Structure formats: structure tokens, C-alpha cells
């Protein structure tokens, strides 16, 4: 697998924004001076995820986007604030078919003059329900994810269960095997399943098999793994990244860890962090659905690697 010379990761949409965190040698943020200047657009946060990955080979740059946030407004607003044109995106990967990851796609497509290739797992379009333990049901919560409507405004969908290259040095994980003992299929032990889907006419528990992640190979450093929600589990996702690329060294991990969802036992978070400590990456950013307790635990247990990755954050690797 080819290796990139340089990778710049820019967070376009995230649950948090913070203007008080100082810059470092390789992390730039719109800070207090930026936000207090009335001429500047302020960075917005929302409960969604969108991460731009700029991959460099010498002077050639590929702009790959993972996910599109929850709403049109926030992704387009933050792109404008950060000086990124929608037409500069070369390729979009949708990590899975949940609204907080595809919700900004219609706005992104309409803001472009050109069609956009969108890679995703075919199950991303399954009809979905949430059924909570208290009996509350949110039916058809992904009804806004309409293939025909999105194709009519410029989406060019590529359906792939297997890992597929997105540009040199970047591939998707493809469907992720659930081999790690504390990241099994189905709901967490002792909790009722909340995710349901309609598959071939049957109403059944939704294993969210469409959950895929992005893998980048960075020269002399190792793998950068970027997850959406990590429904398949962060460690399962890293194992798959290692298998797909044949590269063991994990250099950086960004994205949702799916540990903040109600009912997920604290032990799962502890096991995840124990495994991450063995992998010893240089950067770890639990984001989005990771939950505040996970952010705090990673900061405590892996203080050198922990990076609070908020909306507008630009990391050069």
C-alpha cells in the first residue's frame, strides 16, 4: 500500500466547539481571537460528525470527506468559515446510514457544481427504527436518506461491502468482522437492543453492518484510522484496518467510539482503553458518540496521546 507524505485532518462537524484550547505545533483551531473578531464566521457544533482528510503526495492533494454531519446548515456554514469549497471534495465516504452522519449530504450536493462520488455499504439504506428500553419507538428515523432524491441532485453512489481504495494510501475498512470478545455483535450484555431494521420484509435487530471506517497509511508513521460511530467497536475497527493494509502500527485514531450510548457498560470503555494502551498510538481523539466519560478516561489514561478534537480543529500529521 502506498504511503502519504502528509495528512491534514480537519473536523468540519462535531458535538463540541471550544475557542479556549491553545494551538500546538501541529494542531490549529479557530480560537478566542478568531471568534471575537466580528468579521469572522463563528464555528458551529452539532450532534453529528464530518471529518475532512487531505492526503498529500508531494504537491498533489486529495480531499476525502468522511460523513456529512446532521444538518445542511452546520456543515456548509463551517466549510465556509474554514475556507473550504464544496466542489473541492474529491470523494465522500458515508460511515453508515444514520442521520447524524448523512444529514448534511443534500446541502453539500446542492452547493456543488459537480456530482460527488459517495462510497458506502449497501445496508446504509436499510429502513431503520429506534426502540428504547422504556418502550419509546422512533420509526423510520432514516427516512430522509433517499437514494433516488440524492442521485437526482448529484450523488454517485458506490456500494461496497469489501474494502475499497478511495485514493492512493487511503482505503475503507469494508464490513468489519466482530471478533473482539468485548465488542460482540448485538446490544451490550444485559441491555435490550435499541436499533432495529427492516431487512427483506422482516423486522429484526439491526447489527449496523454498514458501519465502515477510513484508513490512511502515513509514510514512516503507520495507520491513521478514522471512525464514524464505530458501531462495530473501535478495537474491531483497528484490527480490520491492520488486516486490510498488512500494517500493524496504529499512529492515530479519530472519530466516534460509540461508548456514550445509554446502557453501554463502563467495563466496555475500560477494555477499549486497555487495548488502546497496548497499541500505543501517538494521537487518540474520542469524538461525537464516545461520551464525556470516555473523553475523560482517555485523557487520564493516555495523557500524551489524548487530543480534544472539536469542530474547526485542523491537525497536520
Toward Fe ion, which CB reaches closer, 98 or 221?
98
For the bound state, the minimum distance from the C-beta of residue 240 to Fe ion, rounded and expressed in Å, comes to 17
| H or E, element range at 177 | none
Q: How far is the CB of 265 from Fe ion (least distance, A)?
A: 18
CA distance 90 to 72: 19
If the CB atoms of residues 64 and 289 are measured against Fe ion, the closer one turns out to be 289
Comparing every residue's Cβ against Fe ion, the nearest one is 229
Backbone angles phi, psi at 290, to 5 degrees: -70, -30
Nearer to Fe ion, 100 or 183 (CB): 100
How far is 86 from 113, CA to CA, in rounded Å? 9
What minimum distance in Å lies between the beta carbon of 44 and Fe ion? 17
Provide the binding-site residues for Fe ion, judged by CB under 5 A.
Answer: 98, 100, 229, 289
Neighbours of 286 (CB within 10 A): 34
Q: How far is the CB of 259 from Fe ion (least distance, A)?
A: 12
> Is 237 in contact with 176 (CB distance < 8 Å)?
yes
| Nearest to Fe ion of 65, 289 (CB atom) | 289
Alpha carbon of 285 to those of 12, 79, 248, 256, 282: distances in Å? 15, 21, 19, 9, 10
Q: Measured from the CB of residue 15, what is the shortest distance to Fe ion in angstroms?
A: 9
Query: What is the smallest separation between the CB atom of 8 and Fe ion, expressed in angstroms?
Result: 23
Q: How far is the CB of 17 from Fe ion (least distance, A)?
A: 17
Strand order of the sheet with strand 155-159? 27-28, 314-316, 6-13, 50-57, 60-66, 91-93, 116-120, 155-159
Whole-Å CA distances, 134 to 129, 186, 191, 214, 262: 14, 18, 12, 35, 12
C-alpha to C-alpha distance for 293 and 81, rounded to whole angstroms: 30
Which of 106/154 has CB closer to Fe ion? 106
Nearer to Fe ion, 122 or 168 (CB): 122
Report the chain's C-alpha Rg in angstroms: 18
Closer to Fe ion at the Cβ: 54 or 67? 67
Amino acid at each position: 500500500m502506498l504511503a502519504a507524505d502528509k495528512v491534514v485532518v480537519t473536523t468540519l462537524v462535531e458535538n463540541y466547539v471550544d475557542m479556549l484550547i491553545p494551538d500546538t505545533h501541529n494542531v490549529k483551531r479557530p480560537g478566542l481571537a478568531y471568534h471575537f473578531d466580528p468579521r469572522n464566521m463563528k464555528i458551529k457544533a452539532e450532534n453529528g460528525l464530518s471529518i475532512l482528510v487531505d492526503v498529500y503526495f508531494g504537491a498533489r492533494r486529495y480531499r476525502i470527506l468522511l460523513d456529512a454531519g446532521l444538518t445542511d446548515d452546520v456543515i456548509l456554514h463551517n466549510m465556509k468559515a474554514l475556507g473550504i469549497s464544496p466542489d473541492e471534495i474529491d470523494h465522500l465516504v458515508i460511515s453508515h446510514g444514520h442521520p447524524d452522519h448523512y444529514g448534511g449530504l443534500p446541502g453539500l450536493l446542492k452547493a456543488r457544481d459537480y456530482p460527488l462520488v459517495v462510497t458506502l455499504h449497501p445496508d446504509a439504506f436499510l429502513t431503520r427504527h429506534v426502540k428504547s428500553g422504556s418502550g419509546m419507538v422512533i420509526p423510520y428515523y432514516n427516512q430522509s436518506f433517499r437514494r433516488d432524491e440524492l442521485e437526482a441532485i448529484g450523488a454517485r453512489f458506490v456500494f461496497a461491502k469489501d474494502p475499497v481504495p478511495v485514493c492512493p494510501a487511503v482505503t475503507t475498512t469494508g464490513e468489519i468482522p466482530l471478533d473482539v470478545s468485548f465488542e460482540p455483535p448485538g446490544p451490550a450484555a444485559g441491555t435490550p437492543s435499541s436499533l432495529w431494521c427492516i431487512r427483506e420484509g422482516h423486522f429484526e435487530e439491526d447489527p449496523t453492518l454498514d458501519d465502515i471506517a477510513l484508513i490512511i497509511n502515513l509514510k514512516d508513521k503507520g495507520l491513521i484510522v478514522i471512525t464514524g460511530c464505530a458501531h462495530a467497536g473501535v478495537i474491531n475497527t483497528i484490527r480490520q484496518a491492520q488486516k486490510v493494509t498488512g500494517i500493524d502500527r496504529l499512529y492515530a485514531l479519530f472519530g466516534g467510539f460509540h461508548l456514550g450510548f445509554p446502557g453501554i457498560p463502563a467495563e466496555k470503555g475500560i477494555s477499549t482503553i486497555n487495548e488502546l494502551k497496548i497499541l500505543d498510538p501517538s494521537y487518540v481523539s474520542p469524538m461525537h458518540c464516545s461520551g464525556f466519560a470516555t473523553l475523560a478516561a482517555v485523557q487520564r489514561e493516555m495523557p500524551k496521546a489524548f487530543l480534544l478534537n472539536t469542530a474547526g480543529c485542523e491537525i497536520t500529521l
